[in-house]
Amino acid sequence: MNLLHIDSGILGDHSVSRRLTAAVAAQIKAEQPRTAVTYRDLVASPLPHLSGAHLMAANAAPEDVDAQIAADVAESKAVLDEFLAADTVVLGVPMYNFSLPSQLKAWIDRVAVAGKTFRYTAEGPEGLAKGKKVIVVSTRGGHYSAGPAAIMDHQESYLKTVLGFLGITDIEIVRAEGLNLSADSKVEAISEAERVISDRGSLKLAS
């Protein structure tokens, strides 16, 4: 199995999402020792945000493309190839300002590619990345999974939408929320997420 492990939390060693994605990846490796892991840290090695120059360079002659843009396009291809090769993807996704990190959005813009991961047909859009498992490690300072505050969730809801658009329906959420409410709330939320991860029946993996 090919596992793609993505981190986007900006807090380094203090990041709860990084702690939990590491636990998920370790659990997968324990269950399937032959798993090949590709790791991408979108903070340590950020992708430039998509621009018109990137889009035009994809269809331009090599000699007409700026060297830096050409390098960015090559990296974009590598990102897409990693995603296409993955059977299971682990995404570390902290909630920032009710949404996801801009670093992760830049990554999504590299994998949502017409003709590669989706296409438009006479019957409407069709996702081409079917058969993948995505485990979203979602961390939040407050509580947004239920109640009136759920309307402010543009993090998990966005990911489900864009991944579904790409044809991915096997999406599992490992969530730790209420992290900023109190020290006790943080400990409880992390412990519960780690319990879910350690439960071998909780993470149904791609074959």
Alpha carbon distance 142, 204 (integer Å): 27
The answer on whether 97 is annotated among ligand-binding residues is: yes
Per-residue pLDDT of the chain (207 residues; tens, 9 = 90+): 999 999 999 999 999 999 999 999 999 999 999 999 999 999 999 999 988 887 777 766 666 677 888 888 889 999 999 999 999 999 999 999 999 999 999 999 999 999 999 999 999 999 999 999 999 999 999 999 999 999 999 999 999 999 999 999 999 999 999 999 999 999 999 999 999 999 855 555 544
The answer on whether 95 is annotated among ligand-binding residues is: yes
**pLDDT tens readout for residues 9-55:** 999 999 999 999 999 999 999 999 999 999 999 999 999 998 888 77
Q: Give the Å distances, CA to CA, from 30 to 24, 26, 42, 103.
A: 10, 6, 25, 29
Q: What stretches of 17-96 adopt beta strand conformation (E)? A: 36-41, 88-94
Alpha carbon distance 121, 188 (integer Å): 47
Q: What is 2-198's CATH superfamily?
A: Flavodoxin domain (3.40.50.360)
Alpha carbon distance 176, 194 (integer Å): 9
Which residues, at least 6 apart from 63, have a Cβ–Cβ distance to it below 8 Å? Answer: none
The answer on whether 16 is annotated among ligand-binding residues is: yes
For residue 207, what pLDDT is reported?
43
For residue 64, what pLDDT is reported?
66
The answer on whether 88 is annotated among ligand-binding residues is: no
Alpha carbon distance 114, 32 (integer Å): 33
The answer on whether 202 is annotated among ligand-binding residues is: no
The answer on whether 120 is annotated among ligand-binding residues is: no
The answer on whether 152 is annotated among ligand-binding residues is: no
The answer on whether 2 is annotated among ligand-binding residues is: no
For residue 53, what pLDDT is reported?
81
The answer on whether 118 is annotated among ligand-binding residues is: no
